[in-house]
């Protein structure tokens, strides 16, 4: 039986992976997070340990206790606006703590699966004109060199580097705009936000010039499970297959859920006046994951069609 340790198990992605893995008899799953178990109903299927990964002594106890074969790190300070104004805190969680986890993974011979982001890219290699906007152009591959435009992206890139230089067995899993149904107490996502606003008859402004490859949270979990079974080293883009603007995401939500289109107001990044810079384009190619892992994510409309059963 493989002993799996999921860090950040109260988070949106971490909880999905925790729930999915704990139903499999071949895994003995431990979830760990900073705060108490967000949904303790499923106790018995997994163990839960409260730990602060910024504290080296806590990590040591955790590894000693769990003796993990695989560590899946879904913890992070994951709000770009917060990281932009809290550099020290962001570096501590997204880089220093990750580096410590990597050292312990090496000591305990654990495979380290570490989640990262499309925000390591700046989008500047793409020329934006009418034609390319229609067909978002080439996608970033795992070989492309990061050049983050915000501090969150910088810390995630540095975290990736620590994992790659320390671990003998590792996978870096880059995801983007992770969506699905969040639990109360978890942060939401743009798909859920649009749905809630439109259902309530409220207007929403959405950027029409930021292109992403949105990722269903269940597909992240599927990709991670494939990486447990297929212990290859390196970076993997585990995201959706469709590259679309945030406005296109909003329109698909309205279309497939039968909601009012006219409440959606597309705006440019300039008009949105976001405090944190974001890459205009960060679409990632899943060719590597498709070929090496057999990864086959769902399209947004497929997830929306099944939304009530998620
Ligand atoms: N959501 C998205 O759209 C995207 C996410 N990513 C990346 O994917 C990963 C998962 O993101 P997401 O699901 O949004 O994460 P969340 O923000 O939902 O969850 C992160 C979790 O990390 C835990 N955590 C934070 N600090 C500590 C700490 N010091 N010690 C222990 N646990 C801690 C928190 O625990 P608690 O709740 O107990 O405080 C929280 O539940 C991250 O690496 C993120 O950078 C990348 C691209 C897009
Ligand atoms: C809240 C909101 C967001 N947006 C846009 C901004 C942005 O491009 C997109 C998503 O906004 P969010 O604030 O949810 O997330 P944002 O901080 O842009 O998204 C990121 O999260 C971190 C963790 C990552 O690593 C990234 O990959 C990415 O998914 O939607 C709107 O257009 N209208 C809105 O009302």
Query: What's the CATH number for 2-187+213-243+283-299?
Result: 3.40.50.720
In the predicted structure, residue 41 carries a pLDDT above the cut 80: no
- Among all bound ligands, the one having the nearest atom to the CA of 73 is 1
Cβ(73)–Cβ(18) under 8 Å? no
Q: What is the C-alpha separation between 133 and 118, in angstroms, rounded?
A: 19
Q: Is the CB of 10 under 6 A from ligand 1?
A: yes
Q: What is the C-alpha separation between 266 and 162, in angstroms, rounded?
A: 39
Q: What angle do CA 119, 121, 126 make, to 5 degrees?
A: 130
Question: pLDDT of 99-129, one tens digit each?
Answer: 999 999 999 999 999 999 999 999 987 655 5
Residue 180 class from Cβ within 10 Å (0-12 exposed, 13-18 middle, 19+ buried)?
Answer: buried
First to last CA, the chain: 28
Question: pLDDT of 70-84, one tens digit each?
Answer: 999 999 999 999 999
pLDDT at residue number 130: 45
Angle between helices 151-166 and 97-107 in degrees, nearest 10: 20
Q: What is the C-alpha separation between 310 and 271, in angstroms, rounded?
A: 34
Minimal-distance CA residue to ligand 2 atom 23: 78
Picking from 279, 67, 61, the residue whose alpha carbon sits closest to that of residue 177 is: 279
- Among all bound ligands, the one having the nearest atom to the CA of 155 is 1
Half-sphere exposure of 185 (CA within 13 A, CB side): 9
Q: Is the CB of 146 under 6 A from ligand 1?
A: no
Question: Does the interface ipTM go beyond 0.95?
Answer: yes
Residue 260 CA, ligand 1 centroid: distance in Å: 32
Q: Is the CB of 172 under 6 A from ligand 1?
A: no
Question: pLDDT of 186-201, one tens digit each?
Answer: 999 999 999 999 999 9
Looking at per-residue confidence, does 134 or 116 come out higher? 116
pLDDT at residue number 137: 59
**To test the ligand 2 pocket, which listed residue (77, 146, 189, 190) has its Cβ within 8 A of the most ligand atoms?**
190
Q: What is the C-alpha separation between 209 and 146, in angstroms, rounded?
A: 20
Q: What is the 3-state secondary structure (H, E, C) of the chain?
A: CEEEEEECCCCHHHHHHHHHHHCCCCEEEEEEECCCCCCHHHECCEEEEECCCCCHHHHHHHHHHHCCCEEEECCCCCCHHHHHHCHHHHHHHHHHHHHHHHHHHHHCCCEEEEEEEHHHCCCCCCCCCHHHHHCCCCCECCCCCCCCCCHHHHHHHHHHHHHHHHCCCEEEEEECCEECCCCCCCCCCHHHHHHHHHHCCCCEEEECCCEECCEEHHHHHHHHHHHHHCCCCEEEECCCCCCEEHHHHHHHHHHHHCCCHHHEEEECHHHHCCCCCCCCECCECCHHHHHHHCCCCCCHHHHHHCHHHC
- Band of the pLDDT at 131, cuts 50, 70, 90? very low
Residue 145 CA, ligand 2 centroid: distance in Å: 22
pLDDT at residue number 209: 92
pLDDT at residue number 132: 47
| Domain regions of the chain by residue span | 2-187+213-243+283-299
Q: Which of 124-128, 266-270, 275-279 has the lowest mean pLDDT?
A: 124-128
Taking CB atoms and a 6 Å cutoff, what residues make up the pocket around ligand 2?
Answer: 78, 80, 117-119, 176-177, 189-190, 193, 204-207, 210, 246, 278
């Amino acid at each position: 039986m493989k002993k799996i340790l999921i860090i950040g198990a109260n988070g949106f992605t971490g909880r999905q992976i925790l729930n999915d893995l704990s139903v499999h008899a071949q895994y003995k799953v431990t979830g760990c997070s900073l705060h108490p178990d967000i949904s303790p109903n499923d106790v018995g299927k997994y163990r839960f340990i409260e730990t602060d990964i910024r504290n080296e002594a806590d990590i040591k106890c955790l590894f000693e206790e769990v003796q993990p074969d695989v560590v899946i790190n879904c913890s992070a300070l994951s709000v770009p606006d917060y990281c932009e104004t809290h550099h020290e805190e962001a570096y501590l969680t997204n880089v220093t703590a990750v580096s410590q986890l990597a050292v312990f993974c090496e000591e305990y011979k654990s495979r380290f699966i570490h989640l990262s982001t499309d925000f390591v890219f700046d989008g500047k290699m793409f020329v934006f004109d009418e034609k390319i906007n229609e067909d978002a152009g080439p996608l970033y591959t795992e070989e492309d060199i990061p050049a983050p435009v915000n501090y969150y992206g910088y810390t995630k890139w540095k975290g990736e580097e620590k994992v790659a230089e320390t671990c003998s067995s590792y996978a870096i899993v880059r995801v983007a705009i992770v969506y699905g149904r969040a639990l109360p107490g978890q942060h939401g996502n743009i798909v859920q936000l649009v749905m809630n606003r439109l259902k309530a008859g409220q207007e929403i402004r959405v950027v029409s010039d930021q292109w992403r490859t949105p990722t269903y949270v269940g597909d992240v979990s599927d990709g991670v499970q494939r990486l447990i079974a297929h212990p290859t080293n390196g970076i993997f883009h585990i995201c959706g297959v469709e590259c679309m603007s945030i406005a296109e995401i909003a329109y698909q939500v309205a279309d497939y859920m039968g909601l009012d289109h006219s409440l959606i107001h597309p705006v440019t990044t300039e008009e949105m006046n976001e405090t944190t810079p974001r890459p205009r384009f960060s679409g990632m190619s899943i060719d590597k994951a498709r070929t090496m892992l057999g990864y086959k994510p769902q399209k947004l409309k497929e997830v929306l069609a099944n939304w009530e059963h998620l």
